[in-house]
Chain A
Amino acid sequence: MKYALFLGCTVPVRTMGYELSTRAVMKKLGIELVDLKEFGCCGFPLESIDHDTYLSVATRNLAIAEEHGLPIMTMCSACNGSLLKAHMAMNDEKIKSHINDTLTPLKRHYNGSIEVKHAARVLYENIETIKEMATPLPLKIAAHYGCHYTKPSEIYEGFEDPEVPYSLEDVIRAVGAEPVQYENKKQCCGGAILGIDESVSLEMTREKLQHVKKTGADAMTLVCPFCDIMYDVNQRRIESHFDEKFGIPVLFLPQLVGLALGIPSDELGLRLNRVPVRSLLKTLGD
């Protein structure tokens, strides 16, 4: 299988550990990733500003993938939702022709043929291979699904019920780890309103860290750079803001899978994680 890797804005600049581990794990699974330099913003923030602009910016990326005849793999859940929603909007011929008019001066055109898939979904689809290749990890892991990986469910065509998601926990089990259950597992990280009201946003993040802490999990795992910025990058800030200690390591799902597949921690970008993962690696005998 071959995909065009859609980096989006946040991953390649702020969460390079996610990109490194995704590339390393996909390679190990025999999945080829192609970089298309012309890809740009997915359009997500623009949906709030002007719907036509959002659709045009998102569809531009779909058109680029179509020129190369490659399905898109995303790492950011917001990118995934944004591109998929635009792809579905293009089912309406009137909208499609209107958006293609906007793209004409760029010499781009979208016919509507591109599949968009989240990297975590690709891992889920390769779960049997992962099971075969994995050295079991004796860890308790809290899965954080976030929002746009499962919702709105209409764009994911009934893959999993967002009220009872299971795919991330299935991958956690596939690497021999134990998924822990915790209060408000499906809750949003709050990242989307960090620029609107920081204290409300950080309070949302703190709530989940408290719930995860109670379970005694060794780490959290997640599949979106925004969620990571909230739980990993901002964890220390939340600790000092609320005078509360968490110390919960946060792994991107491919980092967790990569550890089980025996990929060296450097290739998984683990030293880029903000909350130290040393004790976690010690548990694994690294």
Chain B
Amino acid sequence: MEKKEPIDMNDLDPSFKYEIASQPGGEHIMKCVQCATCSSGCPVASISDKFNPRRIIRMAILGLKERVITEDFVWYCAACYTCSERCPQDVRIPDLMSAIRNIATKEGHIHPAYKEQGRLIGEMGRLYEVTDFENQRRKKLGLPQLKEKNDEIDSIYTKTGVKKVIT
């Protein structure tokens, strides 16, 4: 995440913050006062310097769109909501991270792990494949059989346009 070169003002996209604010979950971005309550209590940030929610918000407000949506740090939020409960400005950081991820996805920068999850859910209606093997195992344990496939989610994908980004 650290880059030593100074920021070139010509690289900034001042409309990025408005784009985020127009996304569900991103509405409160401009309320951030950079107090770092989020970063100081973040369980991911306490282990890895790859994730620093305060800095991501600052970068987004500055307009460093390219870096925010192409690098992978925005995908490090575990959505644990610790910061969200404590933020004095009600920025709702995990929802904000989702809003940024939505924009990254739209612009072709979805994280491969999420792309794969999205694909599996679309194809099967669930995250893990259910085959005869799983159903046999469940039968032995006295658990009811699961439906192997569900087409309804695929039809939602087609309607919302998500199918294009995950295939």
| A1 interface hit (Cβ, 8 Å) | no
A197 and B97 CA atoms in complex are apart in Å by 17
Asked, given contacts A186-B82, A190-B43, A200-B48, whether A48 binds B102 with beta carbons under 8 Å apart, the answer is yes
Q: Does B118 contact A (CB under 8 A)?
A: yes
Smallest CB-CB separation from A78: which chain B residue? B79
In the assembled complex, the Cα of A204 lies from the Cα of B48 at a distance in Å of: 10
Decide if A188 is an interface residue (CB 8 Å cutoff): yes
Q: Which of B81, B114, B134 contacts A45 (CB 8 A)?
A: B114
Tell me the residues in window 129-153 of chain B with beta carbons closer than 8 Å to chain A beta carbons.
130, 134, 137-138, 141-144, 146-147, 150, 152-153
- Contact for A35 among B97, B118, B144, B166, CB less than 8 A: B144
- The complex places the Cα of A151 from the Cα of B101 at a distance, in Å, of 21
B81 with A197: CB separation less than 8 A? no
**Is the CB–CB distance between B143 and A20 below 8 Å?**
yes
| CB of B36 within 8 Å of the partner chain | no
In the bound complex, how far is the Cα of B114 from the Cα of A197, in angstroms?
A: 13
Q: Is B35 close to A, CB under 8 A?
A: no
Residues of B near A49 (CB, < 8 A) are 101-102, 105, 110, 114, 118, 162, 165-166
The answer, yes or no, to whether B52 is at the interface (CB within 8 Å) is no
B156 to nearest A CB, angstroms?
Answer: 5
Beyond A9-B126, A13-B134, is A196–B76 a contact (Cβ under 8 Å)?
Answer: yes
Complex: A48 Cα to B97 Cα, angstroms: 8
A102 to B126, CA, bound (A): 19
Q: Mark A152-175, 1 if CB is under 8 A from B, else 0.
A: 110000000011000000000000
In this complex, what residue of A is CB-closest to B25?
A: A51
Say which one of A53-61, A114-122, A246-254, A255-263 lies at the interface with B: A53-61
Verify A10–B127 contact, CB threshold 8 A: yes
Interface residues of A in 39-86 (CB under 8 A from B): 40-41, 45-53, 56-57, 60
B92's nearest neighbour on chain A, judged by CB, is A152
Given A46-B121, A151-B81, A192-B79, A187 and B141 touching (CB < 8 A)?
A: no
Q: Find B85's partner among A12, A41, A56, A162 (CB 8 Å cutoff).
A: A162
**Interface code A189-226, partner B: CB below 8 Å = 1, 0 otherwise?**
01111011100100110010000000000000000000
The interface residues of chain B lying within 8 Å CB-to-CB of A193 are 44, 75-78
CB of B67 closer than 8 Å to a CB of A: no
Q: Which residues of chain A come closer than 8 Å to B143, judged between CB atoms?
A: 12, 16, 19-20, 23
A38 within 8 A of B: yes
| A195 to B25 Cα, complex, angstroms | 23
Q: How far is the CA of A35 from the CA of B80 in the complex (A)?
A: 29
- B125 to A, closest residue via Cβ: A40
CB atoms of B141 and A16 under 8 A apart: yes
Contact B113 A195 (CB under 8 A): yes
Within 8 A of A (CB), among B109-127: 110-111, 113-114, 117-118, 121, 125-127
Binding site for B on A (CB under 8 A): 7, 9-10, 12-14, 16, 19-20, 23, 35, 37-38, 40-41, 45-53, 56-57, 60, 102-103, 105-106, 108, 147-148, 151-153, 162-163, 186-188, 190-193, 195-197, 200, 203-204, 207, 269
Given contacts A41-B125, A51-B23, A152-B92, 14 further A-B contacts (CB under 8 A): A12-B146, A13-B146, A16-B138, A20-B141, A37-B147, A38-B150, A41-B126, A52-B160, A57-B153, A106-B152, A147-B80, A152-B94, A187-B43, A190-B43
The 6 closest A-B pairs by CB, nearest first: A195-B113, A151-B81, A9-B127, A188-B80, A192-B78, A40-B125
